[in-house]
Amino acid sequence: MKQDMGLGHALHPDHWGNGYMSDAVDALTHYLFQRYPIEKITAYANLDNIGSQRVLEKCGFQNVGEEDQKSPARGTIDRVYRFERYRT
């Protein structure tokens, strides 16, 4: 049975702008597609989080629209962009 996976990422602000997260997301995405029989990886970025959006786009994810997402860590419901990347 094929499954989809979700991907989340966070990085301390002291390390923003160095390409670490782009490298990590790209490496993890490649690993997941090689290791597991999945067709799609989904990730989310808050509407105001331009850095996360750029990381996902740089790593081949496509913005497929907006939706509300529950954030248990914050105890809020946030408006987010949904990104998807398919196996190539």
The CA distance from 31 to 25, in Å, is: 10
Say what the pLDDT of residue 50 is: 95
**To the nearest whole number, what is the mean pLDDT of the chain?**
92
Q: In the chain, where does DSSP find H-type helix?
A: 20-35, 50-58
What would the pLDDT profile of 35-56 be if each residue is shown by its tens digit?
A: 999 999 999 999 999 999 999 9
Look up residue 50 and give its two tokens.
């331009």
pTM score: 0.89
